[in-house]
Structure 1
Amino acid sequence: MAGYLPVMLDVSGQKIAVIGGGTVAERKVQSLLEAGAAVTVISPALTAVLSGLVEEGKIQWVARGYEPGDVRGAFLVYAASSDPAVNEAAAAEAKALGLPVNVASHAEAGNFITPGVLRRGRLTVAVSTSGAGPSAAAEITSQLAEVLGEEYGPYLDFLHMMRTEIKSLVPSAEERRRLLHRLGRLDVLNSVRQGTFIEWSPEAVRAWIAANRAE
């Protein structure tokens, strides 16, 4: 079994090459656009959704089949054609260039796989079965969605705001650590769930920091 290293990549503005224009490629492209990638699709035909993205200027389209040299300069490569031979040829080129490549038709031909993803604002949960069963990963992701509700979005926004202010106002690393520990004891998540949470003003944030620094 391949041992995969979980990692979160910042692909904002990065060129991503997607080989193929079918429904599998469509799913890859939509996830990439959510992450802010600059996507180029190489395929003689596109789904209606992908065609719409081209018309809206959200992706680039090379209207032909894959040719050697197409993946040069890409940050990541997705080989998502309906033709396994095309996918493996694109994967071989990507590997020769030292580029990470995902192969939809044969995961072992690539060197990274895409997990099932659950997003709740700043929270991203990735679920992988190491290629054993995408449907199982989707089912597990669905189960997690029932446990990790929408309340995690505003909750993590609050924590981010507080952490940013603490880092800005408190120079001592030890004091910051103590304040962040106290912050973790606030029952904010439950109050968000119950609908009783009131957003803190900048003055309230600074007052909380000052009061807890004094203790």
Structure 2
Amino acid sequence: MAYDEYVPVLLNCRGRSCLIIGGGKVAERKALTLLNAGASVHIVSPVLRSEALQRLAKSKVLQWTDRKYRPSDLDGAFLVHAATDDSQLNMKIAEDADSLGILANVASNGEAGTFIYPTVMRRGRLTLAISTSGAGPKVSHDIRERLEEQFGPEYEDYLDLLYRMRSMIREEVESAEVRRRLLDKVYRMDVLSEIRRGGYVPWNSDKIKLWIENNQEE
């Protein structure tokens, strides 16, 4: 059986112009997601029905143009969300975006756009995305709940330590072979068990450097 397949990617939207057409709850969710990712958010809508969006626009956290959509709104956009309550307008926005090579998400019909949002679980640096290719959001949410049990909050401290150690190893060690050996030792450390037992104390830079010095030999 063939499925409509998507390429799973994580987009870097920091500093990029991301356009949202619409001013309701869907637009609010998209805006908050993009703002959390550091994007520059521009909303085009005659009204903002979301109080959260009204506050964000008033405080200049995002740009709001209070009128109906125009094709020229797409100029310079990295991606666009068609999030109005008019399905035909959403399709028109997606078509306009596609003609310009701009990524488009269509709230009223995911398959009409060029990207969709998966159900996401986050634990600090850990991001797990779940998609059922249209089988239903309830299934995705159930899977996320099971993953939340399997990957608990201890993964935040664990991955922070791995990130800091990997970064310092790359800075402190010139030999690629020694770096590889050190990283292999890092990944074999049973830090997760220590965190789960409640006995973990975050490592400072001096402790990481000392560990690097003491573990360079085979």
Q: Please give the TM-score of this superposition, normalised by the length of structure 2.
A: 0.94
Query: Which residue pairs with 1:3 in the alignment?
Result: 5
Structure 1 unaligned spans of 5+: none
SS of equivalent residue, structure 2 residue 74: coil
> Partner of 1:103 in structure 2?
106
Q: Which residue of 1 aligns with 2:185?
A: 182
- Give the match for residue 28 of structure 1: 30
The farther-off stretch of 186-195 and 95-104 is 186-195
Q: 1:170, 1:96 → 2: CA distance? A: 48
Matches within 5 A, 1:106-121: 106-121=109-124
- Please show how residues 202-213 of structure 1 align to structure 2 within 5 Å: 202-213=205-216
Q: Which residue of 2 aligns with 1:139?
A: 142
* CA deviation after TM superposition for structure 1 residue 214, in Å: 2.8
SS of the counterpart of 1:143?
helix
Amino acid at match of 1:96: S
**One-letter identity of the residue aligned with 2:35:** L
| Pair 1:74-2:81 in alignment | no
Paired residue secondary structure (2:14): coil
My pick for the range that moved more, 193-202 or 26-35, is: 193-202
Distance 1:168 1:10 in 2: 24
TM-score after normalising by structure 1: 0.95
Unaligned 5+ segments in structure 2 are none
Equivalences for 1:146-157 in 2 at 5 Å? Answer: 146-157=149-160
Q: Structure 2: how far apart are the matches of 1:199 and 1:29?
A: 34
1:161 maps to 2:164: yes
Matched residue count:
215
* Change beyond 3 A, Cα 1:66–1:139: farther
Q: What's the C-alpha RMSD, in Å, of the aligned pairs?
A: 1.3
Instruction: State the match for 1:37 in structure 2.
Output: 39
State the percentage of identical aligned residues: 47
